[in-house]
């Protein structure tokens, strides 16, 4: 995940041609595995659910990979634009391509991916900026999950979003800050914790309190 901040570079997205630019933006905003993104179908997209719509991920190695995710405004704009350009289909691949599978595959984007880095490098040199370090598309998933963990998302929720089969896989992205720990304790404000002024009763007899 060393390239997490570089992977989401606006310079890369600006240099990427279509459909790579749209695919990369969806990966950054949803944390999908590239193969999950390539296999999205229109019949699994629902425009009315949630704030901006949802889509169902149907492809994955485990049952946990099958999940419903909400769209961000950017993902909604990208998918809705593609849907309208395709004539509003009720079914079919979101990313159709002349491949054996009928949809985009990693190999379909190799040339565009390399081209995006070349153009980003040219722009960086022209503007005296640090070059965009190369990364693989899967890194965009790590970018999203890292940001989700940094936002305060708990490991259980992150596991559901990521489609992890084990919450242990999600803990690598979750590092509670001191503020998060304090907030957790403050939420217990409505519960009775610590020593009570009154001696507790056990089996009908007052219990001895340990010295504080």
* Pairwise CA distance, residues 202 & 22, whole Å: 65
> Token match 């009763």: residue?
201
CA distances to 19, 29, 100, 123 from 143, in Å: 20, 9, 30, 23
Q: How many residues does the chain have?
A: 212
pLDDT band for position 7 (cuts 50, 70, 90) = very low
Q: What pLDDT, on the 0 to 100 scale, is given for residue 22? A: 97
| Strand pairing category for 67-70 and 45-46 | unpaired
| Structural domains of the chain, with CATH | 4-140 (1.10.443)
Question: Which of the given ranges, 85-89, 116-120, 130-134, 197-201, has the highest pLDDT on average?
Answer: 85-89
Average pLDDT over residues 159-184: 84
Helix (H) or strand (E) holding 68: strand 67-70
Average pLDDT over residues 19-47: 97
Q: Are 203 and 209 within 8 A, CB to CB? A: no
47 or 61, greater pLDDT = 47
pLDDT tens for residues 110-123? 999 999 999 999 98
* Pairwise CA distance, residues 116 & 120, whole Å: 6
- Percent of the chain whose pLDDT exceeds 90: 60
pLDDT tens for residues 158-167? 999 999 999 9
Helix (H) or strand (E) holding 114: helix 110-126
Task: Provide the sign of the torsion angle of the four alpha carbons 148, 170, 155, 47, taken in this order.
Answer: positive
The candidate with the shortest Cα–Cα distance to 53, out of 37, 69, 65, is 69
- Percent of the chain whose pLDDT exceeds 70: 84
């Amino acid at each position: 995940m060393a390239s997490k901040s570089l992977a989401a570079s606006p310079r890369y997205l600006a240099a990427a041609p279509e459909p790579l630019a749209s695919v990369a933006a969806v990966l950054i905003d949803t944390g999908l595995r590239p193969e999950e993104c390539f296999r999205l179908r229109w019949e699994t997209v629902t425009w009315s659910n949630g704030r901006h719509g949802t889509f169902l991920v149907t492809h994955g190695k485990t049952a946990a990979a099958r999940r419903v995710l909400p769209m961000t405004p950017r993902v909604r704009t990208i998918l809705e634009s593609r849907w309208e350009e395709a004539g509003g289909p009720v079914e079919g691949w979101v990313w159709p391509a002349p491949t054996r599978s009928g949809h985009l595959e990693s190999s379909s984007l190799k040339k565009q991916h390399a081209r995006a880095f070349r153009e980003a490098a040219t722009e960086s040199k022209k503007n005296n900026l640090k070059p965009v370090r190369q990364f693989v598309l899967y890194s965009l998933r790590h970018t999203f999950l890292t940001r989700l963990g940094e936002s305060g998302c708990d490991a259980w929720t992150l596991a559901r979003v990521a489609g992890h089969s084990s919450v242990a896989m999600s803990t690598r992205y979750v590092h509670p800050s001191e503020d998060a720990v304090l907030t957790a304790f403050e939420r217990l404000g409505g519960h009775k914790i610590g020593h009570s002024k009154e001696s507790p009763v056990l089996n009908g007899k007052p219990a001895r309190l340990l010295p504080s």
